[in-house]
Amino acid sequence: MHDLEAIKHELFRLRSVTDIQNLMGRYTVNHTPKNIGSHVELFAMHRADVSVEIGDRGVYVGAEAVRRLFQDEFAMALEGNLLIHYLATPMIEVSGDGLTAKGVWRSPGIEAVAPPDGGLPVALWSFGAYACDFVFDDGRWQIWHLHWFRTTKCSFSDGWVNDLSMARSEAIAHPDVQATSYHNPYTPSSVQDSIPPCPEPFETWTHVDWAIEEQRLRR
């Protein structure tokens, strides 16, 4: 690669880190009952293997499945419901070829969920991490695979040691929902893994399983 082309390529990779951080920022800002259905605009919906995995609900694969998840299954009343999932500790690695990227964010969150039969909303803690693959298509970065690792989800009043009622959820049975790849929520008897790991430098994307591999320490 010519020196000037190499410099331009590295500048693109550096700028991409900010672009990807802003992309995930748009995702989390719009992660509200009112706007959650618009998430699909941030995904590489033209790719057959676009996917979303939320806790232990299973892996939603394909545009139809991703759209159904955000626009139908996650639909909720606007009044009284609250979803705030902050982004912390950004770890972003853009591939050497500049075509893809990997990112991990720890994510502390708070929620308020109104019971379907009425009554006051229930205050919840919701902590976990995002691990995502990104692809540069049509002149912009898009979310390719998104995995939300749920560490704790519990009532604010009882906390994650005493309230284990939401540690597990029922997987969705559907042809385009594959088996959950990893789910290890906190319980008093659980052992925490260093998952998802900080992305390692890579030249070209190879597989989605990097997000469920233990963190390796560099020496």
Residue 208 per-residue DSSP state: G
In a domain, 208, yes or no: no
- When divided into structural domains, the chain yields a total of 1
pLDDT of the chain along its 219 residues, tens only? 678 899 999 999 999 999 999 999 999 999 999 999 999 999 999 999 999 999 999 999 999 999 999 999 999 999 999 999 999 999 999 999 999 999 999 999 999 999 878 889 999 999 999 999 999 999 999 999 999 999 999 999 999 999 999 998 877 788 899 999 999 999 999 999 999 999 999 999 999 899 999 998 765
Answer for the pair 181, 193: CB distance below 8 angstroms, yes or no.
Answer: no
In a domain, 149, yes or no: yes
In this prediction, residue 218 carries a pLDDT of 66
Q: What is the domain extent for residue 55?
A: 3-194
In a domain, 169, yes or no: yes
In this prediction, residue 208 carries a pLDDT of 87
In a domain, 83, yes or no: yes
In this prediction, residue 219 carries a pLDDT of 55
In a domain, 203, yes or no: no
In a domain, 214, yes or no: no
In this prediction, residue 115 carries a pLDDT of 87
Cis peptide before 121 (omega within 30 of 0): no
Rg of the chain's alpha carbons, rounded to an integer? 18
In this prediction, residue 191 carries a pLDDT of 96
Residue 172 per-residue DSSP state: P
In a domain, 51, yes or no: yes
In this prediction, residue 1 carries a pLDDT of 61
CB proximity list for 153: less than 8 A, separation 6 or greater: 55, 124, 125, 126, 127, 166, 167, 185
pTM of the full structure? 0.94
In this prediction, residue 22 carries a pLDDT of 98
In a domain, 157, yes or no: yes
CA distance 149 to 196: 8
CA distance 34 to 30: 8
Residues 136/51/19/217 CA torsion (nearest 10 deg)? -100
| Kind and range of the H or E run holding 52 | strand 51-54
Q: Which CATH number do you get for residue 180?
A: 3.10.450.50
